[in-house]
Structure 1
Amino acid sequence: MNDDPEPSTLRVFVALAPPDEAKDELARALQPAYARYPRLRWNRIEDWHITLAFLGELPATAVPLLRSVLAGQAASHPALHLGLRGGGHFDERLLWSGIDGDLDGLHLLAADVRDLVGSCGIEFNNRPLRPHLTLARARRDDPTSVPQAAAGLSGFVGRPWHAERLHLVGSNIGRGSGPIRYRDIEAWRFGTGIRADEDGAPA
């Protein structure tokens, strides 16, 4: 039995998650990098996600309101056809894989999500969306591993997949210099409120 009190604040973001098959495919492509760059802080595969809006530290009382508006957004939005492609880095410190597919739809979804969050009176850093899947972070004294690992991913092209759910995620910072861990607060399937015509396509 867990007697720990519920936290009064949560670090929260809204995201998409690739299916297990897509993550496994990328993980296989990363095997040489895992062996070659052991000093990188590799994210756990189960934590891979595509952030649509990072909301930061919020009072726990904001979560029910977010659940309500995000559930409605997911119900009215079709699943996105996406893929993972190539690799890159930010500031030689953060390694990522790129996102391929319906990028216009992805940007539109992110804009809608951010508008909904703002309508709830929640202030957050509304920086421009740069779709990516974070894979690893470098230590401060290691300026070369991330760019080299990104170059090794340049030819990777994953099979396409559908993003089926919108995720509201909470993050927990590990003790000391420990890793960040993520957990779904809730996830909603896309398109449950979209009426289909007789051929099964959205009306």
Structure 2
Amino acid sequence: MNDRPEPPTLRVFVALAPPDDAKDELARALQPTYATYPRLRWNRIEDWHITLAFLGELPSTAVPPLRSVLADLATTRPALHLALRGSGHFDERLLWSGIDGDLEGLHLLATDVRNLVDSCGIEFTDRPLRPHLTLARSRRDDPTSVPGAAADLAGFAGRPWLTDRLHLVGSNIGRGPGPIRYRDIEAWRFGTGLRPGDDSAPGAP
């Protein structure tokens, strides 16, 4: 049992997570890349996620209203068909795997998540969604590893999968030295409020 008190603030985002077998498939494809680019700071496989909305540092009191509206949203939405495909980088510093599949549904879900966050009175930077799964970050003196790794992984095509849950996640960024760590604050299964064959919800196939 964890008796530590909840911190006064949390760094929070809303995300999707690939299933374990999809992550394992990508991890196997990455084995040569791990060896070729040992200086990259690789994310832990269990932390891989697709961010829908990054909310930044929030007071802990802002979390309960988020839980309520996100739970309601997840129950009214069907699972999305997605896949991990290809690779790229942001500014030669951040290596990512691309997302394929129902991108229209993914954008609709992200828009609704952000609208709900806004309805809770939470201010955040509403950047355009660029669906990706972050794999690694470079060190400041290493400008070549991330582009090289992205080129090596460009041909990756993962198997399709269904999203399982909508995740509200907290991280320890800015809380001292060491690697970034993420933990689910809560997660909600998609479609539990839908009747079989119900396609009335926005984004339903």
Report the TM-score, using the length of structure 1 for normalisation.
0.95
3-state SS of 1:7 partner: coil
Match of 2:5 in 1: 5
Structure 1's unaligned 5+ residue stretches are: none
The 8 Å contact of residues 171 and 183 in structure 2, kept in 1 or not, is answered as: yes
Match of 2:103 in 1: 103
The 8 Å contact of residues 168 and 186 in structure 1, kept in 2 or not, is answered as: yes
**Aligned-partner Cα distance in 2 for 1:114–1:97:** 23
3-state SS of 1:118 partner: helix
Cα drift, residue 5 of structure 1: 2.7
How many aligned positions are there? 200
Match of 1:22 in 2: 22
The 8 Å contact of residues 107 and 129 in structure 1, kept in 2 or not, is answered as: yes
Match of 2:164 in 1: 164
Q: CA RMSD in A?
A: 1.3
Aligned letter for 2:78?
Answer: P
**Aligned-partner Cα distance in 2 for 1:89–1:114:** 25
Match of 1:132 in 2: 132
Tell me the alpha carbon deviations over residues 84-111 of structure 1, each in whole angstroms, 9 at most, x when there is no partner. 0000000000000000000000000000
**Aligned-partner Cα distance in 1 for 2:74–2:120:** 16
The 8 Å contact of residues 174 and 181 in structure 1, kept in 2 or not, is answered as: no
3-state SS of 2:15 partner: strand
Match of 2:74 in 1: 74
**Which 4+ runs in 1 deviate beyond 6 A?**
none
Matches within 5 A, 1:26-105: 26-105=26-105
**Aligned-partner Cα distance in 1 for 2:29–2:124:** 35
**Aligned-partner Cα distance in 1 for 2:5–2:117:** 26
176-185 or 64-73: bigger deviation: 176-185
Aligned letter for 1:190?
Answer: F
Matches within 5 A, 1:177-192: 177-192=177-192
Structure 2's unaligned 5+ residue stretches are: 201-205
Cα drift, residue 164 of structure 1: 1.1
Using the aligned pairs only, state the percent identity.
82
Report the TM-score, using the length of structure 2 for normalisation.
0.94
Cα drift, residue 178 of structure 1: 1.3
3-state SS of 1:56 partner: strand
3-state SS of 1:157 partner: coil
**Aligned-partner Cα distance in 2 for 1:100–1:193:** 26
Cα drift, residue 202 of structure 1: 4.1
Aligned letter for 1:126?
Answer: D
Cα drift, residue 135 of structure 1: 0.1
